[in-house]
Amino acid sequence: MPEDFTQAEEFVISDLETLKVIADPLRTQVLQLLLKPKTVKEVAARLEMPATKLYYHVNQLEKFGLIGVVETNVVSGIIEKTYQAVARDFCVDDQLFALTQFTDQTVRDVLGVIFDGAREEVRRSVAVGLIDLNTPARTAEVLDRVLGRATFSLTPAQFQSYAGRLTALLNEMGEASQENERQKETNGAELKPYGLAIGFYPVHLIRDEAGE
């Protein structure tokens, strides 16, 4: 029986408890798979693990309003629910950071939402051959990924300038993605998912006693 459910474009996390729920790497994977409707058994099959190990995590995601039931069926006398993520995208409210007394664990939770999920996405893409780490990323014709980490020496003004341009680029990509989703049945081009995890921040360098 179909439920009254509508997936939103964005869900804003505004409390620390919900942030902790979504920070769990396994729940991040479950949430990603539930961008499209699935049962717990279907999610378990994709993750190659027993469904019994997922029910607690699915219940937590539902309890905190991150997923919802889109359909309920009776299969062999047992109620089977189909779940879907409540939104296509999840982000953290900046006000949460301003109001939160940060501890080391809180920082880990915040970063876990961003980077643990990205790590798992890259790992899965390598496993299925979407990313080939044995070959250079850039060839004469193909750029299949951009992976790396760097530290830059910039003035505060340069940092502000580059950060603004990065933000503008992210907004442009988000708008293009939404337009592609709206037009996917008519534009004839194949849509593929691409992930982006980004951090651009001041760095405290650890130096030796000589200052080197």
pLDDT at 29: 84
104 shares its domain with 157: no
113 shares its domain with 158: no
Q: What is the pTM of this model?
A: 0.61
154 shares its domain with 113: no
1, part of any domain: no
177 shares its domain with 116: no
174 shares its domain with 98: no
71, part of any domain: yes
107 shares its domain with 15: yes
Q: Which residue has the tokens 């089977």?
A: 80
At 138, the amino acid letter reads R
162 shares its domain with 201: yes
64, part of any domain: yes
186, part of any domain: yes
Compute CA 141 distance to the chain's CA centroid, rounded to the nearest angstrom: 29
Q: Which domain holds residue 61?
A: 8-121
113 shares its domain with 168: no
66 shares its domain with 162: no
**For the chain, how many structural domains are there in total?**
2
pLDDT at 53: 92
Q: Give the closest residue to 83 by CA, choosing from 3, 166, 178.
A: 3
pLDDT at 133: 80
70 shares its domain with 163: no
Task: Work out the angle between the directed axes of helices 55-63 and 25-33 (0-180°, nearest 10).
Answer: 80
* pLDDT by 10s per residue, the chain, length 212: 566 788 898 898 888 888 888 878 788 889 988 989 999 999 999 888 999 999 999 999 999 999 999 999 887 888 889 999 999 888 878 777 666 666 777 777 777 767 877 787 788 788 888 888 877 766 645 667 778 788 899 999 999 999 999 989 988 988 888 777 777 555 567 777 788 888 888 888 776 555 55
63, part of any domain: yes
50, part of any domain: yes
Number of Cα atoms under 13 Å in the Cβ half of residue 191: 14
- Residue 189 CA to residue 191 CA, distance in Å, equals 6
45, part of any domain: yes
133, part of any domain: no
Residue 20, Ramachandran bin (φ over 0: left; ψ between -120 and 50: alpha; else beta): alpha
pLDDT at 142: 61
pLDDT at 75: 79
109 shares its domain with 178: no
16 shares its domain with 96: yes
